[in-house]
Amino acid sequence: MSAFAGLMRTTKLPQWVGSLLPVFWAVIVGFAVCGAIAGTVGLSPLLMLTELIKGAVEGPQIFETVARAVPLVGMALAAAMPLRAGIVNLGTDGQLVLGGCVAAIIALYLPAPDGVRIVLALITGTLVGGAYAALAAAGEIYARVPLLVSTWLMSYPAKGLCGWLVHAPLADPLVAWPSTRRIPLGTRLEHLIPGTPINDGFLLIAFAAILIVFLDRRSSVGYELRLRGLNERFARYGGVAIDRQTFWLMFASGAMAGLIGAVLVLGSQYRFTDGALTAPQYTWSGTLAALLAGGEPLGAIIAAVLFAALQTGGFAMERSVEIPRVLTMVLESIVILFLAMRGAIWRRR
């Protein structure tokens, strides 16, 4: 983890170049290796590359990529915020599910006008996700339960509880898969560009992303986070209230995950279905993106968008020319491994 962080910090170029350069090289090497693999089994590396890129950006595919990037960027930021200060939230999965579940319940059952319901659903989903992560922080502050353990383990009861809710009391009897009833039209997020899967959630996440990058670079709070990530003892020595910071940081991270859950439920899934939020593994890809950037938010965003493009490109490639999608996962892992390796090399010097 710190290897990635070291990687991002040893560069002397402007910060954004520093965030991009290693990713760029890693992608080049990743493509080369995947091309070689494809070549040895008789598939054309060039075809693979062009189909992958076309599948990610050509025509309407670009909207698919953007739609996939929305939750991925959000989860990357949820993981990156604590990582910036050197602490870890491994429970974004649970916070995501809680946020989505609570949003669905509010949207379905709160007796209020549509507009109020949708706003409250988003806010409550966000707050519940945040509160759940903050609970883990409180556990570390008051009872010394390591966040690494508590966030991870607290995911299971969260997922279990929401799963039970849609299995029994809130289940829609008309569908086979355990889920809530469909959220009525008026309480859904509207499509931002008609005919595409991009909805108002894009604006919310874009706003959150810009805010986080800005605060990271320009605010006293961001400064304290960054310094803590570089040397926690130094931050403490200088008067940073570490415990309070941990608490609010975890809250922010969980809130981001909860917001993503709410946005996915209200904007594309239209019901809370057991397992549907975690199945695409946004959490996992998002955490990897955050790790790659060492918690630096802009780097995490770039990595998350890249992953989204790879994933949609991979699906399209598989559909159109039957090159197995697993190759894009190989590509993803090589990119990550290569970046990690460079980090270690840089550190040794």
Partner 1 sequence: MAFLEMIDIVKRFPGVLANDHVNLAVEQGEIHAVMGENGAGKSTLMAILYGLHAPDEGYIRLDGKTEIFRSPIDAIERGVGMVHQSFKLFESLTVWENIVYRREPRRGLFIDAKAAQRQVAELAARYGLPIDPIARVGTLPVGVRQRLEILKALYRHARILILDEPTAVLTPGEAVSLFEVIRNLAVNGCTVLLVTHKLNEVMAVSDRITVLRDGKVTDRLVTAETNPTEIVRAMTGRNVLLQVGKTARPAGEIRLEVKHLVVDGRNRRAVDDVSFALRSGEILGIAGVAGNGQSELVEAIVGLWPTDGGAILVDGKDVTALPIAGRRDAGMSYIAEDRSRTASAGTASAMDNLALGFHRRRPIAVHGLLNLREMRGWARTLIRKFDIRIAGETTPVGTLSGGNLQKIVIARELAHDAPVLIAEQPTRGVDVGAIEFIHAELVAERDRGHAILLVSAELSEIMALSDRIIVMFEGRIVASLTRAEADEATLGLYMAGGRKEAA
Q: How many residues belong to the chain? A: 349
Q: Is 224 in the site for partner 1 (CB under 8 A)?
A: yes
**Exposure string (b/e) for 37-74, b if CB count within 10 Å is 16 or more?**
bbeeeebebeebbebbbbbbeeeebebbbbbbbbbbbb
Contact 216, 226 (CB under 8 A): yes
Q: Is 219 in the site for partner 1 (CB under 8 A)?
A: yes
**Exposure string (b/e) for 167-188, b if CB count within 10 Å is 16 or more?**
eeebbbeeeeebbbbebeeebb
Task: Name the segment binding partner 1 (CB under 8 A); options: 155-163, 176-184, 190-198, 216-224.
Answer: 216-224
Q: How far apart are CA 226 and CA 255, in angstroms?
A: 20
Cα dihedral sign for 43, 288, 75, 184? positive
Residue 298 C-beta: closest distance to partner 1, Å = 16
What x-and-dash track marks residues 6-45 binding partner 1 by CB under 8 A?
x--xx-----------------------------------
Task: Name the segment binding partner 1 (CB under 8 A); options: 44-52, 134-142, 165-173, 239-247.
Answer: 239-247
One residue of 231, 326, 333, 345 binding partner 1 per CB under 8 A: 231
Contact 100, 264 (CB under 8 A): yes
Task: Name the segment binding partner 1 (CB under 8 A); options: 137-145, 191-199, 236-244, 332-340.
Answer: 236-244
Nearer to partner 1, 22 or 100 (CB): 22
One residue of 149, 227, 330, 337 binding partner 1 per CB under 8 A: 227
What x-and-dash track marks residues 166-205 binding partner 1 by CB under 8 A?
----------------------------------------
One residue of 221, 321, 329, 340 binding partner 1 per CB under 8 A: 221
307: nearest Cα among 277, 279, 278, 336: 336
Q: How far apart are CA 283 and CA 213, in angstroms?
A: 20
Q: Is 115 in the site for partner 1 (CB under 8 A)?
A: no
Q: Is 324 in the site for partner 1 (CB under 8 A)?
A: no
What is the enclosing helix (H) or strand (E) of 335? helix 326-348
Q: Is 226 in the site for partner 1 (CB under 8 A)?
A: yes
Residue 229 C-beta: closest distance to partner 1, Å = 9
Residues of the shown chain interacting with partner 1 in the complex, contacts defined by CB under 8 A: 6, 9-10, 218-221, 223-224, 226-227, 230-231, 233-241
